[in-house]
């Protein structure tokens, strides 16, 4: 059996994620994880959350999310505020500038994919899930942590650590 079509399709997916990441960076000056952080904050009451909650949503470690928040804060898209009732803790709040950027941003690839996947039948979803699990096994990635959001950082991490 020829595996070329499978490899081509994987490359198409990787390429589309890469192109989206570059486009978002060029047009808006932020990375996809930063944009996803802004989306998350926009969905929360009072547009606020903790770094820990953002990390859980993105499925990234705290130090990575702290860096994401630091960069967003420098761009004045978020602000760190003292937590009500406990001044030792802070919450991350979406700023007016961050909200404005969100209004201008396009639907992300993973949002489009989620919407389209929701239209598939249960059988199609199960088949897709099984097929992807086989690919994960073939790539020997079953122990890798992963976010439900697809970002170019995921692919760059694989390139940096091919083991």
Q: Can you tell me whether residue 116 is helix, strand or coil? A: helix
78-83/48-49 β-pairing: unpaired
CA distance 15 to 51: 30
- Identify the segments of the chain with pLDDT beneath 50: 152, 154-159, 161-163
Question: Mind listing the pLDDT tens digit for each residue in 113-158?
Answer: 888 999 999 999 999 999 988 988 888 877 665 555 555 454 444 4
pLDDT at 30: 93
pLDDT at position 159, please? 46
Parallel/antiparallel/unpaired status of strands 48-49 and 86-94: antiparallel
Listed by start position, the domains of the chain span 4-160
CATH code of domain 4-160:
1.10.10.10
Geometric angle at alpha carbon 100, from 69 and 64, rounded to 5°: 15
Residue 163, pLDDT score: 42
């Amino acid at each position: 059996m020829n595996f070329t079509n499978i490899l081509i399709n994987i490359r198409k997916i990787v390429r589309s994620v890469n192109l989206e990441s570059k486009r978002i960076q060029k047009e808006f000056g932020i990375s996809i994880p930063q944009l996803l952080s802004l989306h998350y904050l926009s969905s929360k009451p009072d547009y606020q959350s903790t770094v820990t909650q953002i990390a859980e949503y993105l499925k990234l470690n705290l130090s990575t999310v702290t860096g994401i928040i630091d960069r967003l804060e420098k761009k004045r898209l978020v602000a760190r505020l003292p937590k009500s009732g406990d001044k030792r803790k802070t919450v991350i709040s979406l700023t007016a500038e961050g909200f404005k950027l969100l209004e201008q941003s396009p639907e992300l690839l993973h949002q489009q994919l989620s919407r389209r996947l929701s239209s598939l039948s249960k059988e199609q979803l199960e088949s897709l899930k099984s097929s992807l699990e086989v690919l994960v096994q073939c790539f020997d990635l079953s122990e890798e942590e992963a976010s439900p959001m697809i970002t170019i950082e995921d692919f760059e991490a694989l390139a940096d650590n091919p083991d």
